[in-house]
Amino acid sequence: MKQDHRAVVIGLVPVLTVLTRPALNRRSEAQLDGPAG
């Protein structure tokens, strides 16, 4: 079970990073553009 859990986590990590990176980039851009605009 532990090995399967690790495999699932290892498989989800790249997916989460790909999904979260655009969101973080949008947030950072919004924070930078917000006060300036």
Q: What is the pLDDT of residues 1-37, one digit of tens each?
A: 677 889 999 999 999 999 999 888 888 777 766 565 4
Where are the strands (E) in the chain, listed by range? Answer: none
pLDDT for residue 10:
92
pLDDT for residue 11:
92
Distant-in-sequence contacts of 16-21, Cβ < 8 A, 24+ apart: none
DSSP label at residue 27: H
CA distance 22 to 26: 6
pLDDT for residue 2:
76
pLDDT for residue 18:
92
Q: Is 21 exposed, middle or buried (0-12, 13-18, 19+ CB in 10 A)?
A: exposed
pLDDT for residue 34:
58
pLDDT for residue 1:
66
